[in-house]
A and B are shown apart, each in its own frame.
Chain A
Amino acid sequence: MSAGLVFSGVSVRAGAAVLLDGVNCRAEAGRLTGLIGPNGAGKSSLLKAALALVPLERGAIHFNGADLPTMPRRARAQLSALVEQSGLAEVHLSAREVVQLGRIPFQSVWQSAPSPEDDAAVDAALAAVGMAPLAARAYQSLSGGEQQRLHVARALAQQPQLLLLDEPTNHLDIHAQFAILELLRQRARAGATVLLAIHDLNLAASFCDALIVLAGGRMVAQGAPEAVLTPALLRAVYGVSASVLRHPASGRPLIAYDGPVAPGND
């Protein structure tokens, strides 16, 4: 048994299409792990499989030694949270009410009002994403970035030991992206297991402690960003030619793209 989220031989299919094909990988507790790969690589499917939103065809997923997909729903919801890619939703709730949804796994059917612990968790989550001043605003009146921050806050209100996020920095300006990633890094430092799907490789390189690379439903690499992000991998997985430099201040990998790899030049 080990702390963190462990995928062992995970296969998922939708009809005839194989979405995940025998994926073995892990996201360790206390670390911020980035899940990268081109569109359709299976990043969302991997996150959904962990929370039993799609059925496993083969394999197992354990969190801190416990079988996560077969765990009772409520117990799983008290342990883990997911921030999905946000779509268009017609929701007539205030910002605070959206974050309060995160307390549902902790509330009994008979409870008529949020408990003091619920309120404290909601306040803390709103403050963490910088949305406390907008708590009374209607969800619909918020910008895409503000709505995205609320979804992160809703997940934080679940006080999860396992936090899964599907491209949480979409719709955000660069400052807000940094703020969210810094927040996630702090959660990881506090002991949580944080796994996020992310497209921006330079952001992934500068914030993540470890990276998992998926392509075509298979795990093709995992490890520290400097070990994973090589010109050869970028060429093979993304079909781009790039130089990997070192960030002058942090020493982290810094990718300078040259352009797409010409067809037949592989």
Chain B
Amino acid sequence: MSLNQGPQRALNGALWALLALSLVLAVTLGPADIAATEVWQTIAHHLGLPGEVPVTRLRDAIIWDLRLPRVLVAAGIGAGLALCGAIMQALTRNPLADPYLLGLSSGAALGAVVFLLIGASLLMPVGAFAGAGAAMALTLLITKLLGGATPSRAILSGIAISALMSAATSFLIFWSATGDSYREILSWLMGSLSGSGWADAGVVLAAVLVLGVPMLFAGRALDAFAFGDAAAATLGVDVVRLRWLLLGATALLTGSLVAVGGAIGFVGLIVPHVVRLATGSRHRVMLPVAMLVGASFMVWTDTAARSLFAPRELPVGIITALLGAPIFLLVLLRYRRVT
């Protein structure tokens, strides 16, 4: 059920290797045939490392400008969403908590779209954060009005908030759009990493590094929540402060990720539950593993999204929902005692 130091380091090492391999392999996949060695050479060249003569200008553009930022965005979003899900599950003691299911992602999408439409596209992460925060506050408030926090009440409130926010997002895009509004709506509601560039990669990776990585240090304090708030408090945890800090950071991180990738669902649910099977529930061990697994998971689902029906692109959220909904049901069955 738990891992000791040695196996834990080995697992982390293996997952880093898997992620590096996934990034490179995902870049090689696509309409233009590219070899793994070309990917390494191009990356080394751009990082100013000595090495082989770089590839042609066109292939360089495909690797460096087109595919690499996109796989990095995917990895960052996967790591961030998995972390947000795991933290929300611990804080709310709700095994079904997930940024998508509790309405945060749809709130973030709405906020991002509002800022996009008023012409402040640079501030989209800010709007997304405001939207995610508002959605979280509404979900928590409705859960309270329903008579207190049980997992099923939280999910029901999340569904209501999510539906409302999604409808508002769809309407705003439809009302303002000149051309292909349905594609645009779909990419916000289901998530799509199509057309991600280095600016997007910068936002996502900065958010994961600045907001996500510090949250890892809350691991031990999150363990203390296993038997509730009072138990955590008697173990010396500042329950109120930690909860606000982490929920705030979770909303900010979700906002940044959704502003770039749209409301990609279920990643925050699937990854932590699968990871717990291998690592147990101790957050010091589980959170970093969830981030690494989430990153590789998202790289491959996004690669599938752009490859399966090439040249047409599937919104990546369709794939995560396809995988996530059955796992959601499994979790629901497993926890039927407490829900």
Using a CB–CB cutoff of 8 Å, the interface residues on chain A facing chain B are 48, 51-53, 73-74, 76-78, 80-82, 84, 86-94, 96-98, 101-102, 104-105, 107, 109, 112-113, 136, 138, 151, 158
User: Are A73 and B233 in contact, CB atoms less than 8 angstroms apart?
Assistant: yes
User: Are B223 and A51 in contact, CB atoms less than 8 angstroms apart?
Assistant: no
CB-CB contacts of B1-20 with A at 8 A, as 1s and 0s? Answer: 11001000000000000000
User: Are B280 and A94 in contact, CB atoms less than 8 angstroms apart?
Assistant: yes
The 10 A-B residue pairs whose C-beta atoms are closest, nearest first, are A77-B236, A105-B236, A74-B236, A92-B281, A104-B235, A82-B234, A94-B1, A73-B236, A90-B338, A91-B226
CB neighbours (8 Å) of A90 from chain B are 93, 95, 335, 337-338
CB neighbours (8 Å) of B226 from chain A are 89, 91, 93, 98, 101
Interface residues of B in 207-254 (CB under 8 A from A): 217, 220-221, 223-224, 226-228, 230-231, 233-238
CB neighbours (8 Å) of B237 from chain A are 73, 104
Count the B residues whose beta carbon is within 8 Å of the partner chain — how many?
29
Partner among A76, A87, A94 whose Cβ is within 8 Å of the Cβ of B236 = A76
User: Are A93 and B280 in contact, CB atoms less than 8 angstroms apart?
Assistant: yes
Chain A, residue nearest B277 (CB): A92
CA distance A42 to B196 in the complex (A): 60
Q: How far is the CB of B151 from chain A (nearest CB, A)?
A: 9
Query: Which of A94, A96, A98, A101 has the most B CB atoms < 10 Å from its CB?
Result: A101
User: Are A48 and B230 in contact, CB atoms less than 8 angstroms apart?
Assistant: yes
Q: How far is the CB of B242 from chain A (nearest CB, A)?
A: 11
Q: How far is the CB of B233 from chain A (nearest CB, A)?
A: 6
Provide a sorted-by-A list of 19 A–B residue pairs whose CB atoms are within 8 angstroms: A53-B230, A73-B237, A73-B238, A76-B236, A82-B230, A84-B230, A89-B93, A89-B228, A90-B93, A90-B337, A91-B226, A91-B227, A92-B281, A93-B282, A98-B226, A101-B227, A102-B235, A104-B236, A105-B236
User: Are B282 and A97 in contact, CB atoms less than 8 angstroms apart?
Assistant: yes
User: Are B282 and A109 in contact, CB atoms less than 8 angstroms apart?
Assistant: no
Q: How far is the CB of A197 from chain B (nearest CB, A)?
A: 15
User: B276 at interface (Cβ–Cβ under 8 A)?
Assistant: yes
User: Are A93 and B281 in contact, CB atoms less than 8 angstroms apart?
Assistant: yes
Question: Quick one: given A93-B1, A138-B1, are A80 and B234 in contact (CB under 8 Å)?
Answer: yes
Q: How far is the CB of B231 from chain A (nearest CB, A)?
A: 7
User: B284 at interface (Cβ–Cβ under 8 A)?
Assistant: yes
Interface residues of B in 139-179 (CB under 8 A from A): none
Q: A82-B231, A97-B2, A101-B226 given. 20 additional CB < 8 A pairs?
A: A52-B233, A74-B236, A76-B236, A77-B236, A80-B234, A84-B228, A86-B227, A88-B337, A90-B93, A90-B335, A94-B2, A94-B280, A97-B1, A97-B282, A101-B224, A109-B217, A112-B5, A113-B5, A151-B227, A158-B235
User: Are A53 and B281 in contact, CB atoms less than 8 angstroms apart?
Assistant: no
CB neighbours (8 Å) of B1 from chain A are 92-94, 97, 136, 138
Q: How far is the CB of A64 from chain B (nearest CB, A)?
A: 18
Q: How far is the CB of A116 from chain B (nearest CB, A)?
A: 13
CA distance A218 to B235 in the complex (A): 29
CB-CB contacts of B106-150 with A at 8 A, as 1s and 0s? Answer: 000000000000000000000000000000000000000000000
CA distance A87 to B230 in the complex (A): 12
User: Are A105 and B280 in contact, CB atoms less than 8 angstroms apart?
Assistant: no
Chain B, residue nearest A75 (CB): B236
CB neighbours (8 Å) of B217 from chain A are 109
CB neighbours (8 Å) of B335 from chain A are 90
Partner among A77, A88, A97, A151 whose Cβ is within 8 Å of the Cβ of B338 = A88
User: Are B338 and A51 in contact, CB atoms less than 8 angstroms apart?
Assistant: no
Chain B, residue nearest A111 (CB): B220
CB neighbours (8 Å) of A74 from chain B are 236
Q: How far is the CB of B258 from chain A (nearest CB, A)?
A: 28
CB neighbours (8 Å) of A93 from chain B are 1-2, 226, 280-282
Partner among A82, A92, A96, A107 whose Cβ is within 8 Å of the Cβ of B220 = A107
Chain B, residue nearest A109 (CB): B217
CB neighbours (8 Å) of A84 from chain B are 227-228, 230-231
CB neighbours (8 Å) of A77 from chain B are 234-236
CB neighbours (8 Å) of B220 from chain A are 104, 107, 109
Query: Which of A77, A81, A88 has the most B CB atoms < 10 Å from its CB?
Result: A77
CB neighbours (8 Å) of B230 from chain A are 48, 53, 82, 84
CB neighbours (8 Å) of B228 from chain A are 84, 87, 89
Chain A, residue nearest B228 (CB): A89
User: Are A105 and B235 in contact, CB atoms less than 8 angstroms apart?
Assistant: yes
Interface residues of B in 278-328 (CB under 8 A from A): 280-282, 284
CB neighbours (8 Å) of A109 from chain B are 217, 220
Chain B, residue nearest A102 (CB): B235
User: Are B235 and A51 in contact, CB atoms less than 8 angstroms apart?
Assistant: no
Q: How far is the CB of A154 from chain B (nearest CB, A)?
A: 9
CA distance A97 to B1 in the complex (A): 10
CA distance A48 to B284 in the complex (A): 29
Query: Which of B224, B231, B234, B280 has the most A CB atoms < 10 Å from its CB?
Result: B234
CA distance A113 to B231 in the complex (A): 21
CB neighbours (8 Å) of A136 from chain B are 1
